[in-house]
Amino acid sequence: MTEHDYLLAWAAYGLAALGCLLVWFRLTGWMWRWLREPLRLLVAVLLLTPTIVDPAKDMFAPAVAITALDLLFKVGNNAWKATLDLTMYSIIAFTLYLVFASIRWPIEKKVKAIRAEREAAQKAEEEPTLREVVRERKPEADTRYDQNGDRRLRIEPRL
């Protein structure tokens, strides 16, 4: 295999792996976020992990392909090296993901609380004051219900 063929094979594999990742992202799009992200990470690691095939020539191949072919045809001893590479890269990727998720989680909780406070304040501002209700009172209007149809127990003036 020439250098050109080697690079061409890696380019073809890279395009196929990105296509598989895109399909996997579409398949896992409906899942709960904390399940979807680790599954996507696992498939990315499986598809994109290289392992060395020939140390003398510095030639690499996808670790999943090496493992599958060595186990299927029972040739060579590269399956163990490929499995170890997959395990090592998986541990590194999941450790980085856990660090990222542990940093992201409290930030998202804080942002969610701020948004809830803003929505509550906005909803409180939209409620009419006693003066507005009295001005708009019509004989047929029932002031016990607001615009949304929710029962209004009492009306407090704004200061």
Give the span between the Cα atoms of 91 and 129, in whole angstroms. Answer: 59
Helices then strands, counting H and E runs in the chain, come out as: 5, 2
* 11-26: pLDDT as tens digits: 999 999 999 999 999 9
Distances (CA, A) of 32 to 38, 90, 94, 111, 159: 11, 21, 18, 19, 44
Extract the tokens encoding 82: 């490929």
The answer on pLDDT for 80 being more than 70 is yes
* 109-159: pLDDT as tens digits: 999 999 999 998 888 787 777 777 666 665 555 556 666 767 666 666 666
Give the span between the Cα atoms of 41 and 95, in whole angstroms. Answer: 11
Residues paired with residue 54 on neighbouring β-strands, in sequence order: 59
